[in-house]
């Protein structure tokens, strides 16, 4: 099926958002399709995080429409979004510092010891670490050893762990839309590459991904489409093949526009 006929995983139409007298978003349209990575770019204060918050239901738009899988959604909040398969990847906010990596990843579905210890709720930690190591390997992600408490991790390791946690949960669901706000902001070269690979693999298995980033190499390596906000307005939305470094910079600074 051609992309224009297929339902968008998430579609925003005419979204505006005011914070008091500040107009953070002005009549923004944006679509992301299954299997597609849309990079959302723009200078500081352009409205990128606000747009992601509207997409995740964390903030209500002042006006405009949201449709998930081709269906308009009337009441949209994070719970509804999550039920419909739209997930925001929160960074270290989502992790519990005092618990180790495995427990953070398996939270709520920890494997229990064999009968009768399971009746008492005893967790099989060895098994849990094994499950976690396997999942991380499958995701192509390396962080610290699975039994290390999150509070001991470096900023980059925490970030990778948080992304892996979201990825594990979403992979189980099998499809949906993933929203990421600067997932590589605190990452070094190798970890950025790891997250890049993870984003691409998730898209290749059918997830729709919206990635906010200031990292242009990441954007070019991983995206299928590039959308740019400038002072709350969408000024560019093109296939990646139609963008290069200088055009993207011109859109970000507001010198040019391109909606294709
Ligand atoms: N909760 C809020 N209350 C008032 N104004 C807000 C709020 N959140 C964002 N804004 C304003 O809306 C505009 C867009 O902010 P937003 O955080 O979406 O920008 P951004 O593109 O994510 O920037 P950055 O690249 O710096 O993260 C800014 O002018 C900001 O000050
Ligand atoms: Mg932001």
pLDDT in tens, 221-239: 999 999 999 999 999 999 9
Please give the number of the atom of ligand 1 that sits closest to the Cα of 42. 21
- The alpha carbon of 25 and the centre of ligand 2 are apart by a number of angstroms equal to 13
Please give the number of the atom of ligand 1 that sits closest to the Cα of 48. 21
Summary mean pLDDT of the chain: 91
Same domain, 167 and 75: yes
Q: What is the pLDDT of residues 90-105, one digit of tens each?
A: 765 678 999 999 999 9
Domain span at residue 221 reads 5-95+155-253
Q: Which chain residues have CB less than 5 Å from ligand 2, an ion?
A: 49
- The alpha carbon of 160 and the centre of ligand 1 are apart by a number of angstroms equal to 25
pLDDT for res 54 = 98
Could you tell me the CATH number of the domain that includes residue 31? 3.40.50.300
Sequence-ordered list of residues with C-beta below 8 angstroms from that of 193, at least 6 positions apart, any chain = none
Q: Taking a C-beta distance cutoff of 8 angstroms, is the pair 47, 59 a contact?
A: no
Choice from 40, 46, 211, 216 to test ligand 1 binding pocket (greatest atom count within 8 A of CB): 46
**Helix/strand/coil percent split, the chain, to 5:** 40, 25, 35
Is 168 a residue whose pLDDT tops 90? no
Q: Token match 């190591």: residue?
A: 133
Q: How many domains does the structure of the chain reveal?
A: 2
- Number of the ligand closest to the Cα of 229: 1
Please give the number of the atom of ligand 1 that sits closest to the Cα of 182. 27
Same domain, 59 and 112: no
Q: Residue 5: which pLDDT band, with cuts at 50, 70 and 90?
A: low
Same domain, 53 and 165: yes
Is 142 a residue whose pLDDT tops 60? yes
Same domain, 79 and 173: yes
- The alpha carbon of 113 and the centre of ligand 2 are apart by a number of angstroms equal to 43
Q: Residue 177: which pLDDT band, with cuts at 50, 70 and 90?
A: very high
Choice from 17, 50, 213 to test ligand 1 binding pocket (greatest atom count within 8 A of CB): 50
- The alpha carbon of 257 and the centre of ligand 1 are apart by a number of angstroms equal to 21
Environment class of residue 43 by beta-carbon count within 10 Å: exposed (0-12), middle (13-18) or buried (19+)? Answer: middle
Q: Residue 57: which pLDDT band, with cuts at 50, 70 and 90?
A: very high
Q: Cite the DSSP H helix spans in the chain.
A: 48-56, 78-83, 101-106, 125-139, 155-173, 189-204, 216-222, 245-253
Environment class of residue 255 by beta-carbon count within 10 Å: exposed (0-12), middle (13-18) or buried (19+)? Answer: exposed
Residue 260 lies inside a defined structural domain of this protein: no
Specify the residue with its C-alpha closest to ligand 1, atom 25: 44
Environment class of residue 246 by beta-carbon count within 10 Å: exposed (0-12), middle (13-18) or buried (19+)? Answer: exposed
Same domain, 195 and 67: yes
Same domain, 19 and 113: no
Same domain, 179 and 235: yes
Ligand 1 binding site (Cβ under 6 Å of any ligand atom): 19, 22, 24, 42, 44-50
């Amino acid at each position: 099926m051609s992309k224009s006929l297929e339902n968008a995983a998430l579609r925003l139409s005419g979204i505006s958002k005011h914070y008091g007298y500040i107009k953070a978003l002005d009549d923004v349209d944006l679509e992301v399709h299954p299997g597609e990575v849309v990079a959302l770019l723009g200078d500081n204060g352009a409205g990128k995080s606000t747009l992601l918050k509207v997409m995740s239901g964390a903030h209500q738009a002042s006006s405009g429409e949201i449709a998930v899988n081709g269906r308009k959604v009337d009441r949209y909040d994070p719970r509804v979004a999550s039920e419909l398969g739209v997930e925001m990847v929160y960074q270290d906010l989502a992790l519990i510092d005092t618990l180790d990596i495995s427990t953070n990843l398996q939270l709520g579905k920890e494997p229990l010891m064999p009968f009768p210890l399971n009746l008492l709720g005893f967790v099989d930690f060895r098994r849990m670490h094994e499950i976690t190591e396997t999942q991380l390997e499958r995701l192509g992600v390396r962080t610290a050893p699975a039994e290390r408490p999150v509070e001991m991790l470096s900023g980059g390791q925490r970030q990778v762990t948080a992304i892996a946690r979201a990825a594990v949960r979403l992979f189980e669901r099998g499809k949906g839309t993933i929203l990421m706000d600067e997932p590589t902001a605190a990452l070094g070269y190798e970890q950025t590459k790891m997250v890049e690979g993870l984003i691409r693999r998730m898209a290749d298995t059918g997830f729709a991904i919206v990635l906010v980033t200031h990292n242009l190499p990441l954007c070019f390596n991983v995206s299928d489409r590039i959308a740019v906000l400038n002072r709350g307005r969408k000024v560019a939305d093109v296939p990646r093949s139609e963008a290069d470094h200088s055009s993207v910079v011109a859109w970000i600074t507001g010198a040019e526009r391109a909606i294709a």
